[in-house]
Structure 1
Amino acid sequence: MNNNNSLEPNKEFWKSVNEFYNGRAETGEFPDSVKEEFEVEKLPPMSRRKFVALLGASSAFALASCNNYRDKGEIISYNDKPEYANYGDSIYYASTLNDGSSVLIKTREGRPIKIDGNPDHPIFNGKISSQAQANILGLYDPDRLQNPLKKSGSKLILNKDDMIKTDWASADAEIISKLNSAVSSGKEIAIITHSVISPTQKKLFDDFVAKFPTAKIYSYELHNDNNSRLAWRDSFGTEDLPSVKLEDAKIILAFESDFLGTEGNVPVQVRQFASKRNVEDLDNFSRLYSAESAMSMTGMNADYRFRLSPEKQMELIFIIIDEVSARLQNVAVGQNSVKKYSNSNYRQFANANGIDEKKIKYLIDDLVANKEKSLVLAGEKLPVAMHKAVILLNTMLNNNKLFNFSELNILQKPLNGINDFVDNLRNGKVAVVINFDVNPVFHFNLSNELWNKAGTKISLVEMHNESCKNNDFVLPINHALESWNDFNLRSGIYSLQQPVIAPLYDTRQKEAILLGWISGAYSENNYHKYLMDRWEKEVYPIAGTMVDFRKFWYSALHDGVIQL
């Protein structure tokens, strides 16, 4: 309110903000420029929408011109379309990957596009790992070797180790000459490979050694179950491990064993374990205890997890053996073997290692209460002594009923490592070394000086690796989806591998390359015929079928697996 007696006459005052804005509205709420008429002719020639579209298109063109996009070629239709093929319809083939995984491969117009599990396989039951599904990416990998290579032999120092393209006939002739020279001089021909799980591949290696008597086969795996096999051999006289029935176990105790993540046949083990974890069937719900030094997939799924070093795990298992022995009054336990670890009971052990003693008591109670229905597992990294202790505990609990002795996990050749090879290489006894789809230089950190002591170095690989460096020959091999083979992971169960596409590049199957060196002449279907001949002589007679071999062979090829 104005007060003309005490305030200046030219100043205005308002009682509220609303009074101020209401007064302003009387003189015009919007500026004059906003109230002008809308005229289309005065708009700019380019709209905002068109500007944004052009900006996006120009950015896309700029990015596309800066990449190394590879031309995928033309899509060509069938010249003579097969009766069974329809455009857009998928055709499925049963096959096996190089790790023994039984798969069903989906193809369309002759191109593999998807890998899934083979539901007809009695072990896998249609389950495979994510690595197996991703295996198809390797088939179309642009970094695959496409031609055989050999060392240039240039007199220029900068170019002497360069690899140049060569043809297969020249490479075969030179390599066969090197192999014969090694035999004549009495020097070693070393073939380095991973686990041999193919009976036909084993026969091929035997034939290779028969042809070249100085040849030796070295097989290795960075992660293997050798300690478990050695403990089993010392206990039962054989290295063939029985398969386990995880689906029948009520209590599972895993010592450093990541059977749900990285160890063993993971897809099968996950399927078996999951079958006993149905929340709608609590009466048959299993319980998992895990003792491990680092977090694993198995530990994350455990009901009770104990974080213990391997030494403490050894101490724990002998304390459990003592407790179980006392409760079951089992006098078969050798007390001298456990005296070192039986100085304390589980309560003292729990207090010393920061573990709730109730959890260890639950574990012991569960093992005793579920005798014959519990299973104790030891990880691949644990020593042989720990595996023997696990065998002892399983025997005390009569858990052998959870081992399937009719389906043994077998190896066609035992793993023997490469220690002897390294010693012979160091002493200059190796004339030829053949990397059979392996990378020993990287896996065992072999120095260039040591690696170069081999006379002739040959790598049979899909892609370049560290072991190809300074090689005399680098030979490209087929992908698993371009190859023939067979596999025998479990006793009595054989699976077949068949090509679902012709080789995309100038490559050969690694087994066919060796077979060509044995016979002195390579043919396109030599290993296919070699595989069929072995099946006709060794597998077909024990199959007990009334059909002829051809029908038997095509039936096995169709299903991808046979069980004898």
Structure 2
Amino acid sequence: MDSNKKYWKGLEELNKTPEFVEKNKHEFAEPIPIEEVLSGGGLSAKTPRRDFLKALGFGVGAVTLAACQKVPVHKSIPYLIKPEEVTPGVANYYSSTYDGSAILVKTREGRPIKVEGNPNDLLSKGGLSAQAQASVLELYDTSRIKDPQQNGNDSSWGSVDAFVKSELAAIAASGKTISIVTSTIHSPSTQAVIADFILKYPTAKHVSYDAVSYTGIIKANQNSFGKAVLPHYNFDKADIIVSFGADFLGTWISGEEFTRQYVSNRNNKSLEAKKMSRHIQFETGMSMTGTNADVRVAIKPSEEGPALVNLYNALSGTTLPGSKKLTTANADKAILLVATELKAAKGKALVVCGSNDVAAQVLVNAINSLLGSYGTTINLDNPSRQYAGNDGEIVDFITQAKNGTVGAAIFLDANPAYDYHSADAVKDALKNVRLKVSLSDHADETTTLCNVVAPNHHYLESWGDDSSVEGYYTIMQPTINPVNNTRQAEQSLLVWSDNAVKDYYTYVRNNWNTNLLAKGGLSGQAGWETLLQTGFVLAAPVAAGTYTFNQDLNAVAQTIQSQSAKLVAGDNKFELQVYQSVGMRDGKKANNPWLQELPDPVSKVTWDNYAAMSPSDIKRLSLDEFEVVEIEANGYKISLPVLSQPGQAPGTVSVAVGYGRTAAGLVGNNVGKNAYPFYTFSNGTFQTAAIANLNGTGDIFPLSQTQTHHSIEGRNIIREATFTEYKKDASVNSGSHGEHKEYDLWEGSKDDEIHARPVYDWVMAIDLNACTGCGACVVACSAENNIPVVGKDEVGRRREMHWIRIDRYYSYNDDGNGNAVTKEREIAKLDDLNNVTVVHQPMLCQHCDHAPCETVCPVLATVHSSEGLNQMAYNRCVGTRYCANNCPYKVRRFNWFNYWNDSRFDNYLNNEHTQLVLNPDVTTRFRGVMEKCSMCVQRIQAGKLQAKIEKRPLKDGEVKVACQQTCSANAIVFGNRNDKTSEVYKALQSERTYYVLEELNVKPGIGYQVKVRNTSSELQA
């Protein structure tokens, strides 16, 4: 541990605020009397297993029927009459697709209960985002539309089809436009269906837009190279990465794919070869990518354009218009030093920018051209199809609809009444549209304005395909019958256009037989069956070409100068940045409680968005933490609580979109405030920055954060080193923090047969250099282990139930003279908080060999297994919580309520459908007991059983715990320490390995690898 570094979880802990001190005095609330536990039904005579079976058998529920009835879906799901491949109690897995990534869907007795990444997926190699992990829960959402509707009333499909077809015929005859409004579609079959629809109705037009747009990049590539594409970036081929506001590890384009690429140059394998990429981040608000950067420089939105101009000048030796000194301290120096490093890494450098401004992206193209990035770190010949929306198209559609030239509007995966910057304009325009059809499966904000609703299937009920990257084609197949009386959107379009093929399965099959199977060297029925098993085909990629930039940059720089000048805030005003949060993204999944309760990777806030401001600005305005401020920009006004965010550029405020839904469902309605109206349409694209007035109201709106629930009391939790130090001594900062005498409660336990582990010794290794803090593991664990959602109020009471958490620690270095930072200086010099560094640390039950929880349990509810696992016997636990008091890692959770059956949690998971997502291999815990990470013991047992059936030893990698399986960065490795060839054994032998609080001699079973940053004294934020 660096003695010149001080780590803290939040400003409350750093400044020892009275509220923080008081809360930590009462960290453990009074226990519930045993009489209350018994009277509350927590220790019911019915076991959790029976409760689960009761949930499965409710009434004659829709989901039960969907899973069990015989259906004509060509043997893609289990049947009522059991086929040979279906065995009750044994999971089935089906290949499918989520957002362009190949996935595997786990089903039990016909019900999808878990989504996993396909290990052979081109993008993330088996990793999945938090949103993908949470997607299975949406299948069982009771807010989904149950039947087709006309004029607000339930109808039949026959009636809806007849009405829509007659209306479309009349509108086409009148010559008015039929607009199909969608978000980006990268499904070849869906694109073909829309093309066939347009052939039937020549006045039809496809309008594609994305709530969070990449039009600026696509148009810039059209201007620069004549290719209107979104490039495929290769972060794994870059030695130097410079990002201007692009959260490429989180929300920018393809976060899971970029994470895998990025970490490949920074993990154990790379470090052992003494190689590590270097990452410099210029940004306004602290993003997840910024927290992982080697060097981070906070700049204002108005400075992003000039910073790019200055970087180009430094690289090219020219002087473009708009060159100016940046106001942020050290930013100009950082630009010059970055230019020097980029020059030295030509051909292995990459500059990316999160701006949606065409001019800014053209300048980025010019910079990457100077660096020789095209053909190496940037691929224009095998482009990404993940975002292809055109901002101008949605603006034109609304203008034409308002003018009365649009006769019909069909909405598919598009909700402009929420995410367009002027909802009133959308509402007024749609009043003049004769036929308005929603293909949404939820009654969202746009659906409520439509006179026809033809509800779509959930993707787990659907046939389809995808192609997120050129040459990569994935298949989607249903894993359950439709839960409700819904119909796939593509089939609706086929019916309404009188297509010769009425069944969408047949349409997809024909498209693959004709066009796509051959790309993978497949054909016929055998090829189709192979596709359903593998999940994808991959065509040979086109050789990536080099491109020469040839465009007048003087005009581009002048445009950048003009755009930047519009964002410079005067006195008492702030520069507003609108961004996506990692969990909520664009807000389409706002009704998913797993995502709402997922702590933000940076702020650790759940269930709300907020106004992030620098600590110095909050002090200057005399605002209190969580004080509600009124933010006004572009004629729109909202009130949000302020959050003091270290690393935020002074003079700026950041607000996340994706919140403020009014028609999301029971969970997502009225959570946070809508920030989309802060967008402006300028120079052909939507801009995400503006000048804002900000005024305090005096009201306090507490935010529920998970980060400061436990104090580390200055203990030796985090260890990190610079890459320079690591190259000199690979074991730097990994050794024990001081000498300490070891005591053993069990004399001779290492050799005692009782404590011996002759076959399995389950342990884990976590690489802090690979963990980005995304939180996908948190959602994966919730899905696998039946972890309940408790809601904002309970999180505020420190009662979140997550078995794994991602702790975020801030720090900064010494005072420049080699002296440790003092408490007084920390508080007084708030500007230092603009230059903090961040480390993310997954924290879960450490499965200690000398577990403190085991020694204090009066009823032996928590015991150690012969395979090294700390286990819980729920039926023994009486809820004393002595174990939680005695755990130095604070990883044990107490069930205050019967979350799955208590009416107070009806909005979250307590309903007849969502309980069907429960994993039957894991008991649902009852009120009044402790629970914590089990290392997915059910997966361990399943792996051992399979090996036993096949009469062979268990192989390394056959058992993957849920958090490990979803991690795109491979930051978590689990396995048998007794196997000297195992990945986990090798990881724990790394010279970077240390054990958290090892001085306590609890002998944790999880080893961490020291965080290494590739920084230098010259360029250090």
Question: Would you say same fold, with TM above 0.5?
Answer: yes
Alignment match, 1:81: 82
> Quick one: which amino acid aligns to residue 210 of structure 1?
L
Contact 1:186 1:214 in 2 (8 A): yes
Alignment match, 1:421: 397
Alignment match, 1:329: none
Mapped pair 1:296 → 2:287: yes
Alignment match, 1:241: 230
Q: Distance between the aligned counterparts of 1:465 and 1:106, measured in 2?
A: 29
Alignment match, 2:367: 393
Contact 2:210 2:389 in 1 (8 A): no
Alignment match, 1:252: 241
Mapped pair 1:339 → 2:320: yes
Q: Distance between the aligned counterparts of 1:357 and 1:432, measured in 2?
A: 53
Runs of 4+ in 1 over 6 A off after TM superposition: 58-61, 74-78
Q: Distance between the aligned counterparts of 1:474 and 1:510, measured in 2?
A: 11
- 1:120-157 C-alpha deviation (Å, 9 max, x unpaired): 22222111211011001110001111111112xxxxxx
- 1:261-280 C-alpha deviation (Å, 9 max, x unpaired): 11111100111111112264
Contact 1:199 1:412 in 2 (8 A): no
Structure 2 counterpart SS, 1:257:
coil
Change (3 A) 1:55 1:543: closer
Q: Distance between the aligned counterparts of 2:513 and 2:306, measured in 1?
A: 53
Mapped pair 1:113 → 2:113: yes
Alignment match, 2:150: 150
Mapped pair 1:558 → 2:533: yes
Alignment match, 2:130: 130
> Quick one: which amino acid aligns to residue 173 of structure 1?
A
The structural deviation recorded for 1:405 is: 4.5
Q: How does 1:290-439 map to 2 (within 5 A)?
A: 290-326=281-317, 335=318, 338-342=319-323, 349=325, 352-355=327-330, 359-379=334-354, 381-400=355-374, 401-410=376-385, 415=390, 417-439=393-415
The structural deviation recorded for 1:531 is: 1.1
Contact 1:513 1:522 in 2 (8 A): no
> Quick one: which amino acid aligns to residue 287 of structure 1?
R
Change (3 A) 1:208 1:323: same
Q: Distance between the aligned counterparts of 2:526 and 2:286, measured in 1?
A: 50
Structure 2 counterpart SS, 1:143:
coil
> Quick one: which amino acid aligns to residue 528 of structure 2?
W
> Quick one: which amino acid aligns to residue 370 of structure 1?
A
Q: Kindly, what percent of the aligned residue pairs are identical?
A: 33
Contact 1:437 1:462 in 2 (8 A): no
Q: Distance between the aligned counterparts of 1:268 and 1:82, measured in 2?
A: 37
The structural deviation recorded for 1:369 is: 2.1
**Ranges in structure 1 where 5+ consecutive residues have no aligned partner:** 1-48, 62-68, 152-162, 327-334
Contact 1:304 1:359 in 2 (8 A): no
Moved more, 132-141 or 302-311: 302-311
TM-score (norm 2): 0.44
Q: Distance between the aligned counterparts of 2:463 and 2:38, measured in 1?
A: 53
> Quick one: which amino acid aligns to residue 442 of structure 1?
Y
Mapped pair 1:217 → 2:209: no
Mapped pair 1:72 → 2:58: yes
Change (3 A) 1:355 1:506: same
Contact 1:231 1:388 in 2 (8 A): yes
Change (3 A) 1:53 1:361: closer
Structure 2 counterpart SS, 1:319:
helix
Alignment match, 1:185: 174
The structural deviation recorded for 1:388 is: 1.6
> Quick one: which amino acid aligns to residue 323 of structure 1?
A
Contact 1:292 1:299 in 2 (8 A): yes
> Quick one: which amino acid aligns to residue 273 of structure 1?
Y
- 1:225-252 C-alpha deviation (Å, 9 max, x unpaired): 1111111111111112331221121111
Q: Comparing both structures, which one devotes a greater share of its residues to helix?
A: 1
Change (3 A) 1:509 1:417: same
The structural deviation recorded for 1:562 is: 0.2
Q: Distance between the aligned counterparts of 2:525 and 2:485, measured in 1?
A: 30
Q: Distance between the aligned counterparts of 1:228 and 1:50, measured in 2?
A: 62
Structure 2 counterpart SS, 1:425:
helix
Change (3 A) 1:282 1:306: farther
Alignment match, 1:441: 417
Alignment match, 2:97: 96
> Quick one: which amino acid aligns to residue 112 of structure 1?
P
Structure 2 counterpart SS, 1:283:
coil
Mapped pair 1:451 → 2:427: no
Contact 1:101 1:132 in 2 (8 A): no
Contact 2:250 2:256 in 1 (8 A): no
Match of 2:159 among 139, 146, 170: 170
The structural deviation recorded for 1:113 is: 0.5
The structural deviation recorded for 1:73 is: 3.6
Alignment match, 2:507: 530
The structural deviation recorded for 1:310 is: 3.4
Contact 1:256 1:382 in 2 (8 A): no
Q: Distance between the aligned counterparts of 2:440 and 2:332, measured in 1?
A: 53
- 1:254-300 C-alpha deviation (Å, 9 max, x unpaired): 01111111111110011111111226437211111111122211111
Q: Distance between the aligned counterparts of 1:234 and 1:427, measured in 2?
A: 31
The structural deviation recorded for 1:399 is: 2.3
**Ranges in structure 2 where 5+ consecutive residues have no aligned partner:** 1-32, 46-54, 69-78, 540-1021
The structural deviation recorded for 1:382 is: 4.1
> Quick one: which amino acid aligns to residue 303 of structure 2?
K
Change (3 A) 1:556 1:406: farther
Mapped pair 1:226 → 2:207: no
TM-score (norm 1): 0.79
Contact 1:367 1:397 in 2 (8 A): yes
Change (3 A) 1:431 1:110: same
Change (3 A) 1:171 1:305: same
Change (3 A) 1:60 1:310: same
Cα RMSD for the two superposed structures: 2.7
